[in-house]
Amino acid sequence: MGLWDKIKGEFIDIVEWLDDTQDTLVYRFERYGNEIKYDAKLTVREGQSAVFVNEGQLADVFPPGMYSLTTKNLPILSTLKGWKHGFESPFKAEVYFVSTRQFTDRKWGTKNPVMLRDPEFGPVRIRAFGTYAMRVKDPATFLREVVGTSGHFTTDDITDQLRNLVVTRFTDQVAESKLAVLDMASNYNELGDFVLDKIQPEFEEYGLELTKLLVENISLPPAVEEALDKRTSMGVIGNLGAYTQFQAAQAMEKAATQPGGGGLAGAGLGAGMGFGLAQQMTQAMAQAQQAPPAAGPSAPPPLPQQTTYHVAVGGQQAGPYDMQTLQQQVQQGTLTRDSLVWTQGMAQWTKAGEVEALQGIFPAVPPPLPPSE
């Protein structure tokens, strides 16, 4: 081994980045004069990518693995440097390590209330917040479009821009969906997935990927929530009159147990309240019994039943017949005033002409003529 080979072996570099932070997206490998030795070892760990930059131009990108920096492993940089026949001397290049792992629990939320037209409540204002997860998908694009020449780039440097994108797209989707505020809680997953699909192309323009978007809460202003709570309480109480009577009974019981509230005056007051409460409850029960059913249309009264008659025909009982049938028999001559008839309530068979209820079905009989002089 010659002297030069020995010296060259002692100066082989190891280019690597051990990330001990939780928010670093890009780290520039610092070397004096940016000189990297020939055949240096490049170590790229899982969740990282290494990007070589030569005089401001993006060159080679290395995924996770271990590499010897030679002409074979640096094709783009070799072209930029003009290394047609290889190289054995140190070279200058900037090395950027990009974290490609997922960054989770990124917060987003509306700074100001969003005005919407709710189908049930009318115009309302809502607030929303949640979390999202993202990672660097294209290290070269991310360096070119976002990082630039920054030697240490963290998630805080881009959080505001990403949050504004999420909030804008989420607000637009909620307004277009026209969902009732009370139904939004059952559509958190659908809203999150839809916004994620809509906003993904905009993240890719930065070399990023939005991997998850969660909607944690959508809330109304405090005054509206208070009114909604009161409305819910009324629904739980149900019959407001019965609830008032229950409250009065509790107040009477509490007053009777108070010290100094006894004696004749207390007893008289308690008795008066008791009688008054009993009277109210009695009236309420009577009204409930007399009131028509709350649900369904009211039923009409039953139709009046017509009286029917049995008729004796040829010594045989026939019928019963209603009034219309009897009148037809009179017109046909089968029923006369002398025909015997019977109906419920009559003691015996009677001539039809003697039954007052049947007088109207027989033609009127003229009175006898006056005697001639």
The residues, any chain, with a CB within 8 Å of residue 168's CB and separated by 6 or more, are none
Contact of 55 with 76, CB cutoff 8 Å: no
pLDDT of residue 264: 43
Find the helix or strand (DSSP H, E) in which 193 lies: helix 188-204
Q: What is the mean predicted confidence (pLDDT) over 236-261? A: 67
Check pLDDT > 90 for residue 303.
Answer: no
Instruction: Examine the domain organization and report whether 199 and 117 are in the same domain.
Output: yes
Q: What is the mean predicted confidence (pLDDT) over 270-279? A: 54
Check pLDDT > 50 for residue 319.
Answer: yes
Check pLDDT > 70 for residue 281.
Answer: no
> Is 299 a member of any domain?
no
Instruction: Examine the domain organization and report whether 8 and 52 are in the same domain.
Output: yes
- Domain of residue 351, residue span: 310-358
Q: What is the mean predicted confidence (pLDDT) over 109-118? A: 85
Report CA-CA distances (Å) from 180 to 51, 168, 175. 49, 20, 10
Check pLDDT > 70 for residue 274.
Answer: no
User: What's the rounded Cα separation, in Å, for the pair 186 and 156?
Assistant: 32
Tell me the CATH number at 187: 3.30.479.30
Instruction: Examine the domain organization and report whether 85 and 108 are in the same domain.
Output: no
> Is 160 a member of any domain?
yes
Residue that is last in its domain, among 99, 124, 142: 99
Q: What is the pLDDT of residues 53-83, one digit of tens each?
A: 888 888 899 999 999 888 777 877 777 776 6
> Is 364 a member of any domain?
no
DSSP states along 325-368? HHHHHHHHTSS-TTSEEE-TT-SS-EEGGG-GGGGGGSPPPPPP
* Reported confidence tier of residue 250, pLDDT bands at 50, 70, 90: confident
Check pLDDT > 60 for residue 285.
Answer: no
The predicted model scores a pTM of 0.56
Instruction: Examine the domain organization and report whether 128 and 60 are in the same domain.
Output: no
* Reported confidence tier of residue 240, pLDDT bands at 50, 70, 90: low
Judge residue 332's burial from the number of C-beta atoms within 10 Å of its C-beta, 0-12 exposed, 13-18 middle, 19 or more buried: exposed
Token output for 303: 């139709």
* Reported confidence tier of residue 34, pLDDT bands at 50, 70, 90: low
Residue that is last in its domain, among 201, 221, 241: 221
Residue that is last in its domain, among 173, 192, 221: 221
Instruction: Examine the domain organization and report whether 185 and 116 are in the same domain.
Output: yes
Instruction: Examine the domain organization and report whether 92 and 15 are in the same domain.
Output: yes
Task: Give the number of domains in the chain.
Answer: 3
Q: Is 260 helix (H, G, I), strand (E, B) or coil?
A: coil
